[in-house]
Amino acid sequence: MSKDEIKNVSRAAGVVGFFTFLSRILGLVRDMVIACFFGSGMTTDAFFVAFRIPNLLRRLFAEGSLTIAFIPVFTEYLTTKGKKDAFELARVVLTLLTIIITVLTLLGIIFSPWIVRFQAYGFGDTGYKYELTVLLTRIIFPYIFFISIVAFCMGVLNSLRRFAAPASAPIFLNIGIIGAVFLISPHLSCPIIGVAIGVIIGGMLQVGIQIPSILKEGFVMIPCFKFDHPGIKRIGMLMLPAIFGSAVYQFNQFIGTLIASFLTEGSISWLYYSDRITQFPLGVFAIAISTAVLPSLSTQAAQKETDQFLNTLNHALRLTFFIILPSMVGLIILGKPIIRLLFERGAFDANSTLMTYRALVFYATGLWAFSGIRVIVAGFYALQDTKTPVKMAIIAVISYMIFSLALMGPLKHAGLALALSLASSLQFILLIILFKRKLHVKGLRPVLVSAVKCSSAAAFMGVCLYYSSSIWFIFIPCNGLWNMITYLFCQIAIGLSIYFVSASVLGCSELQSVAEIFFPIFRKIIPYRKITAHRKG
């Protein structure tokens, strides 16, 4: 992998990560607002079930399988045939996509009662909770239409190495929901319906932000009905298995929601809130890196540059683990005060904090696997191999069901979180083994060595944070909002300092890549010549 490609991938990951960071911050604000206004009771359980159904379809048909199947083929057309032919393929895809998702949306609205019965069987098929969930599902279901258009635009723009607009889109979903809670919900007899309306408003805003960017690239959004286009068949062949394989994490949560509906009321909400916190580092870093690396891997695969392909994937995995491993340790050590700061107010009480933290600990233990899967699966898809990931996804789903049934008794809702981590760990290990066999790679020793170094630095950071937190609580109370903010800010600063110093002592080369990610920020602070001189040195 050339130095220029490393910089391109790292900077692209930085752009995606920056906007994803803003989105996750607003997402946490969104969840704080929902937690404050609605707590973790019946109405929030109904909303999260209703929201999860189109969210699952989003992963299955839109951002998951569509993007993953579209980018490698579209990139190959760009590389070998040019922009004109590639855009013609994109127009056909957009036309066919619009027809399919329109039909799917209408069917979803019509069959919402049966969908809810399947998704949350424990809610029963009568009563207010069930009827409310059905109503919310019908309101939210059209979101799949808007997010599918967003996913298409993201595929085109990312292939053209334009990452800012697609990465910023989720920000507007959060804005729509937050605005609806304050401006729509107070005027309704059932306020939670306002949140569902906010989802639709957010979807419209997401589409609106994509259109100018894709038109600027020269794409004309005029229907093209050449459904016999050879590229369509190739995308379809890749997309069919990817529909399941790319969404195994969401599908496991679907199963988890079904099982959790039989547990204590609030279990679904506790799992949701803990998952939202886990999704923060996963989205900001792991998903950002996998999103940024897929176009590069697809280009190298199209040009048959196997060595460069392996080096790019190697770099992406090492960078992912370098960032995710300390995040995992930090969530385990600081999880409870983070939950208290974000959610413990209004209807969200101390018991909700404790229950959410129990799930968070077990979600966090699998963060390394969740992240690694995103990157290694991108490698398979760049090679236009969607069959291997789907086979491993099936094994992961079966494993998750077995682990869930075994652990939900002794650990309740937390057992479902642990089951997901165990199943994902198994899935990642199997994917690595099969990837090595596919490309006849002797080993991924650099990734393993880097992971050991990062794990050592993260473990040392965790020990220091544990004792630092204990000492802090002896001398300084953390009962007020600002005291809690100060505590977390100081602990995070201490943790990052210890981790980066430890990583430097251990010789982790990923430090330079992290600098590349944040280079646009550093350049404003540190003179460019100093940075250049440091690199040459």
- Alpha carbons 172 and 30: distance in angstroms, whole number: 11
pLDDT, position 521: 44
Domain-embedded: residue 496: no
Q: Longest C-alpha distance within the chain, in Å?
A: 72
- In tens, the pLDDT along 101-159 reads 899 899 989 999 988 888 777 776 777 888 999 999 999 999 989 988 988 898 899 88
Domain-embedded: residue 166: yes
CB under 8 Å to 431, separation ≥6 — which residues?
A: 373, 376, 377, 380, 388, 389, 392
pLDDT, position 469: 81
pLDDT, position 536: 42
Domain-embedded: residue 459: no
Query: Which residue, chain included where needed, has tokens 């980066």?
Result: 500
Structure tokens at 194: 């306002």
Domain-embedded: residue 183: yes
Domain-embedded: residue 23: yes
pLDDT, position 507: 87
Domain-embedded: residue 281: yes
Structure tokens at 120: 């949350």
158, 154, 156, 161: which is closest to 4 by C-alpha?
161
C-alpha distances in Å from residue 141, one per residue of 94, 134, 179, 235: 20, 10, 19, 25
Low-confidence ranges of the chain (pLDDT < 70): 1-8, 10, 40, 56-65, 124, 242-254, 441-443, 473-479, 515-537
pLDDT, position 263: 83
CB under 8 Å to 394, separation ≥6 — which residues?
A: 244
CA dihedral for 315, 317, 320, 324, sign (positive or negative)? negative
pLDDT, position 464: 92
- Alpha carbons 263 and 417: distance in angstroms, whole number: 14
Domain-embedded: residue 486: no
Structure tokens at 418: 């642990």
Q: Is 494 exposed, middle or buried, given 0-12, 13-18 or 19+ CB atoms closer than 10 A?
A: middle
pLDDT, position 532: 39
Domain-embedded: residue 65: yes
- Alpha carbons 421 and 368: distance in angstroms, whole number: 9
pLDDT, position 399: 92
- The domain total for the chain is 1
Domain boundaries, position 12? 3-443
The answer to pTM > 0.95 is: no
- In tens, the pLDDT along 473-501 reads 666 666 677 788 888 888 999 999 999 99
Phi-psi region of 41 (alpha: psi -120 to 50; beta: other; left: phi over 0): beta
Phi-psi region of 220 (alpha: psi -120 to 50; beta: other; left: phi over 0): beta
Asked if 294 and 381 count as a contact pair (C-beta separation under 8 A), the reply is yes
pLDDT, position 455: 93
